[in-house]
Amino acid sequence: MKRTRYSNEFKCQVVKEAMKRGNQSWVARKYVISVGLVNRWIVEYQEGKLVENKER
């Protein structure tokens, strides 16, 4: 099974929505991704490692 790569724009969209709602599990279910992944992206966003315009 091939690993899914998410764009930084998508990651930032998910992070912003999770922070706005205050409910990471709801956002994870909406986008069919794990809560752990949402949490990791939030930490990266807060540390400045996740930038919306930068593609990896």
pLDDT in tens, 4-40: 999 999 999 999 999 999 999 999 999 999 999 999 9
Band (pLDDT 50/70/90 cuts) for residue 51 is confident
Token duo for residue 46: 């807060």
The CA distance from 11 to 52, in Å, is: 8
- pLDDT for residue 53: 74
Confidence (pTM): 0.86
Which residue, 45, 42, 1, is CA-closest to 25? 42
